[in-house]
Structure 1
Amino acid sequence: MEISDPLTFLSLLLVVVALFSSLYIIPSRRSDGRRRRLPPSPPSLPVIGHLHLLSAMPHHSLAALSARLGAPLLYLRLGRVPAAVVSSPALARAALTAADAALASRPDLLSARVLSFGRSDVTFAPAGPYHRQARRIVVSELLSPRGAPIDMSARLFGLANDVLCRVAFGRRFGGGGGGGGERLVEVLTEAQALFAGFTVGDFFPEIEWAISTATGLRRRMNRCLAGLRAVCDEIIADHKGEGGGAARDGYSQEDFVDVLLRVQRSPELEVPITDDNLKALVLDMFVAGTDTSFATLEWVMTELAKHPNTMRKAQEEVRRIVGNKGRVEEGDLQQLNYMRAVVKETFRLHPPVPLLVPRESVEKCTLGGYDIPAKTRVFINTYAIGRDPQVWENPLDFSPERFRNTDIDLKGQDFELLPFGGGRRGCPGYSFALATIENALSSLLYHFDWELPPGVGADDVDMTEIFGLATRKKEPLILIAKTHEGYEFKETN
């Protein structure tokens, strides 16, 4: 994340913001002179507020801060931005139900503004008619389950990208002929990196331009935007020339670009969809869908490799249900109860977006009896909730059995487990993501036996995280794979 190396330009930042220090006083009283009842807040520093409390793993530092203060709701000042951090299921429920309308918007982040074509995607669009329409189109027209089996770390990344590219573009992630596939790989991978994490300028909106220019971030984003625009223009032109549903890369069904071009021509739209809006929606599906699915698959396989008895139980279930059919079919997935418990337990310990996508209050509201002013950035720390000993027994243990006799689901209605968020800004693609993960995982478990390389024990597996668009393992997962019949496959990296 851009804030992960703040010392590189901290002196520059302090010099610039000092010139505007008079702007960075956030009043603690209402305009009528009455004092707000704000949530607990630790001591802050001039100008930067509480930014010094964030580490390269902000979900870790915020969880530790909440535990240290004994406060499941914190009020922070991140540069110029007031922020609230929610770290309990009860307050998450309040934020995503009673206060859902008040917290329905998204902050104006630099990466979203530039790379999402003016925040016209679903994830980062401000609350309003356009977001409602875009979300409705995405949910009703695109999201249906597809998936395929594939290998580990880099291959899992390729799997997640391939699934989304086939659905969105009608071509494989690296396919398309000529240099098109390579350009697609390059610009989408760069976009994923730029969307990841925090950007310092987002916490100092009045001088964001100076900070992003000085660090070279804006120049990098503009280059990426030009590449995205060129690739998307080529893909849209191909689709317009072929007509909806024409075969591409052996894929004959109508893909997402076909759908959007069809919807774009509809006279019944509440808000017109421009070509840039279309590009933003396609990019949103790709960036939001691939990194998170890949990260979850990698964490699932990591935990199973560290817990071979759990691996064996999951494999036995898959092989018993699938039998001798030779491949996992969609109808098998609903019967794989233990495997689905494994996925839930992985989401609990390794939420793909641990602070969810931040919300921004469009009006004042209350949480837990405290006032949350308008224009406050709200983070829901699912990492802290998933490891809270008041919520979970032995919270640091990987134990899928805890989900075997519960009805906790992943749809945003059980607030102790929120991998896809909830409320009106919950992830619209949760069913698509689950289908991708479950299809891939069940196939991996059905066809192969997995084990750590010789001489590597469970305690030797590096579990260090990288914070970004999705929180992934820092080191790639390396396993030995053997086909179920006993044929040794190879090491995967």
Structure 2
Amino acid sequence: MMSNTEPPSPRGFPIIGHLHLVTDMPHHSFARLAERLGPVVLLRLGRVPTIIISSARHAGLVLKTHDHVFASRPQLVAAQYLSFGCSDVTFSRYGPYWRQARKICVSELLSHKRVNSFRLVRSEEMNRMLTHLSSSGSDDPVDMSKVFFTLANDILCRVAFGRRFIKKEGQNRHLTGVLTEAQELFGGFCAGDFYPEWQYWVDWVTGFKKRLEKNLEDLREVCEEIIQEHVERSTDRISSTNGEDFVDVLLRVQQREDLEVPITDDNLKALVLDMFVAGTDTTSAVLEWTMTELVRHPRVMKKAQEEVRKIVGSSGKVDESHLQHLHYMKAVVKETMRLHPPVPLLVPRESMEDCVLDGYEIPAKTRVLINSYAIGRDPKSWDDPLNYDPERFENHNMDFKDQDFKFLPFGGGRRGCPGYAFGLATMELALALLLYHFDWELPQGVGADDVNLDEIFGLATRKKTPLILVPTANKDYKF
């Protein structure tokens, strides 16, 4: 029997409901709301009932106890366009297609064997990054935010599409530019997500729908060119499955006769774009925040650097096999993702049926946002939660898939991020290389307390101002 008890809700207004509470930093405003009203809050965002979850215990109820109820996604306007009818893994509705798509991603695109097969790609792009940093003058400041985005972009381009994409002079339509626009649109505000019955004319007036349609046209065109290149490419260039990029894999899987749901060309585009878009911003954001916290905490920087240099030794070459021994460095990454989760509200979920959540009645078609930012800073779950202290992870072997739901950098449940192993391989190797080969300082006149920690909320939450650092190649650990 349903309880007829709604979660607590602040006072709203006609028509807009609680949209006035959605600031440019919604995870911050929702966290403050939870402090006042509790860990489960009901908001009416326009016409859409939305539950905000802000505690580890209640996150566990959504992601484990009632995972089968909250396993679907709302059909957001941007995803309907840019994911080709929400046919990627991230935004597709729960059902046979999603189960098949996720299985393909887990077993074919993101398996341990496949992640290892891209070691050479990661190594080559990391070396490109190190060469760029080494070529700068010893006192020259470097925009590390740009360095990290370029690194993640180039790795994902090669893994997904088979090559780096460099814009040529006079070229109007270019994959990187098209994908950057798609990322901005995914992270932008769309009135149609809150007023479904009004979406067409409202988004036309704001120009959002026009941007979506233009970007979809460009995505379709550049993707079709890439797919055609792969189809025409001689099969003898792929000596084994280890030589395949994501497009190759999906073209091969598309021909299988055992598929429960056929994979169309648009589905293929959605799946490969999903891997790219989901990986680029989040990977670069984690690296950006990690280096930000390290330069703000010299003690932590020194300890992490000493560990990497001790494990790698004087060989001069950081290898992925070293990563399993870098326990403190891994703790640094975890602590960074606790304080600066790349996707602080995770990806929205939607209830598929009526449910009672800790005594509260949650109707079907209710949107659910899990505030991992608030959970990571909850004093009920963490001692001194605002203090940057990697030792809390070094002393407690908490995995990225935390069973207590206190730590959710990659989400959880059946809709958790399937690509976390791939992302971690890039983040950890890049960080180890930077700590091994270089010493790091802030620009002259900038102190640790001067580093700007303001955020930009989007597809991934990044620093508002670029991270400018001065790398100095260490003579004992030169690249």
Query: Does 2:233 correspond to 1:242?
Result: yes
Query: Does 2:18 correspond to 1:50?
Result: yes
Q: Secondary structure at the match of 2:314?
A: coil
TM-score, normalised relative to structure 2: 0.91
Q: Which of 192, 199, 207 is matched with 2:183 structurally? A: 192
Q: How far, CA to CA, are the matches of 2:106 and 2:242 in structure 1?
A: 21
Name whichever structure is richer in helix by fraction: 2
Amino acid at match of 2:10: P
Change in 2 beyond 3 A, CA 1:240/1:305:
same
Quote how far apart the aligned CAs of 1:390 are: 1.4
Q: How far, CA to CA, are the matches of 2:296 and 2:429 in structure 1?
A: 22
Deviation digits for residues 453-477 of structure 1, max 9, x if unmatched?
Answer: 1110011111100000000000000
- Contact kept, 8 Å, 1:244 with 1:254, in 2: the verdict is no
Q: Which of 113, 120, 124 is matched with 2:91 structurally? A: 124
| Percent of aligned pairs sharing the same letter | 62
Query: Does 2:126 correspond to 1:134?
Result: no
Q: How far, CA to CA, are the matches of 1:412 and 1:214 in structure 2?
A: 44
- Equivalent runs, 1:158-307 vs 2, <5 Å: 158-174=150-166, 183-244=174-235, 246=237, 253-307=243-297
**1:37 match:** 5
Change in 2 beyond 3 A, CA 1:446/1:406:
same
Change in 2 beyond 3 A, CA 1:243/1:373:
farther
Query: Does 2:87 correspond to 1:87?
Result: no
**2:140 match:** none
Q: How far, CA to CA, are the matches of 1:200 and 1:454 in structure 2?
A: 45
Q: How far, CA to CA, are the matches of 1:402 and 1:181 in structure 2?
A: 50
Quote how far apart the aligned CAs of 1:200 are: 2.2
Structure 1 spans left out of the alignment, 5+ residues = 1-29
Q: How far, CA to CA, are the matches of 1:450 and 1:186 in structure 2?
A: 31
Change in 2 beyond 3 A, CA 1:352/1:277:
same
Q: How far, CA to CA, are the matches of 2:236 and 2:40 in structure 1?
A: 49
Quote how far apart the aligned CAs of 1:402 are: 0.8
Deviation digits for residues 326-374 of structure 1, max 9, x if unmatched?
Answer: 2211110000000000000000000000000000001111222211110
Amino acid at match of 1:88: S
Deviation digits for residues 103-125 of structure 1, max 9, x if unmatched?
Answer: 01000101000000000000000
Quote how far apart the aligned CAs of 1:486 are: 7.8
Q: How far, CA to CA, are the matches of 1:312 and 1:102 in structure 2?
A: 46
**2:414 match:** 424
Q: Secondary structure at the match of 1:462?
A: coil
Amino acid at match of 1:36: N
Quote how far apart the aligned CAs of 1:181 are: 11
Structure 2 spans left out of the alignment, 5+ residues = 134-143
Q: How far, CA to CA, are the matches of 2:329 and 2:21 in structure 1?
A: 38
- Contact kept, 8 Å, 1:412 with 1:421, in 2: the verdict is no
Q: How far, CA to CA, are the matches of 2:233 and 2:209 in structure 1?
A: 36
Between 1:428-437 and 1:480-489, the stretch displaced more is 480-489
Cα root mean square deviation, aligned? 2.1
- Contact kept, 8 Å, 1:100 with 1:423, in 2: the verdict is yes
Amino acid at match of 1:417: F
Change in 2 beyond 3 A, CA 1:293/1:391:
same
Between 1:221-230 and 1:407-416, the stretch displaced more is 407-416
**2:82 match:** 115
Q: How far, CA to CA, are the matches of 1:122 and 1:61 in structure 2?
A: 29
Give the aligned length: 453
The higher-RCO structure (CA 8 Å, 6+ apart) is 2
